[in-house]
Structure 1
Amino acid sequence: MIQELDLVALLADRPTIGLHRGDVGTVVHVYGSNGLYEVEFMNAKGDTVAVETMSADEVRAVDLGRVASH
Structure 2
Amino acid sequence: MPAEHSRVALTKDCPEEGLSAGDVGTVVHIYGERGVEVEFFNGAGGTVAVLSLPADTVRPLGERDVLHARRLAA
- TM-score, length basis structure 2: 0.81
Q: Does 1:12 align with 2:17?
A: no
Residue 28 of structure 1: how far off its partner (Å): 0.5
RMSD: 1.4
- What SS does the aligned partner of 1:3 have? coil
Query: Which residue of structure 2 aligns with residue 58 of structure 1?
Result: 57
Cα distance in 1 for residues equivalent to 2:64 and 2:46:
26
**Structure 1 segments of 4+ aligned residues over 3 angstroms from their partners:** none
Cα distance in 1 for residues equivalent to 2:64 and 2:13:
23
Stretches of structure 2 that go unaligned for 5 or more consecutive residues are 67-74
- TM-score, length basis structure 1: 0.85
Aligned length in residues: 66
Q: Percent identity?
A: 50
